[in-house]
Amino acid sequence: MTAPQRARYFFFLSPYAGMAFTRCPECDAKTKQRKLPLVVHVEPHTICVLNKTCRFCPACELVIARQSEIEPLLLGMLGDQRGAIERSDYTPIGTLDREDWRDGQREQRSPAEVMEQTWLFKDHWKFEITGGWQLADHRPPE
- Tell me which residues touch Zn ion (CB under 5 A): 24, 26-27, 57, 59-60
Per this entry, what is the length of the chain?
Answer: 142
Q: Which is nearer to Zn ion, 24 or 40 (CB)?
A: 24
Q: How far is the CB of 26 from Zn ion (least distance, A)?
A: 4
> In terms of CB distance, is 48 or 60 closer to Zn ion?
60
Q: CB nearer to Zn ion: give 29 or 111.
A: 29
Nearer to Zn ion, 8 or 102 (CB): 8
On whether the CB atoms of residues 27 and 21 are closer than 8 A, the answer is: no
Nearest distance from C-beta of residue 63 to Zn ion, angstroms: 11
Buried b (16+ CB within 10 A) or exposed e, 83-122: eebeeebbbbbbbbeeebbeebeeeebeeeebbebbbbbe
Distance in Å, CB of 28 to Zn ion, minimum: 7
Asked if residue 35 lies in contact with residue 53, where contact means CB atoms within 8 angstroms, the answer is yes
Strand bridging mode 119-120 / 46-57: unpaired
Taking the complex as a whole, the smallest distance from the CB of residue 25 to Zn ion amounts, in Å, to 8
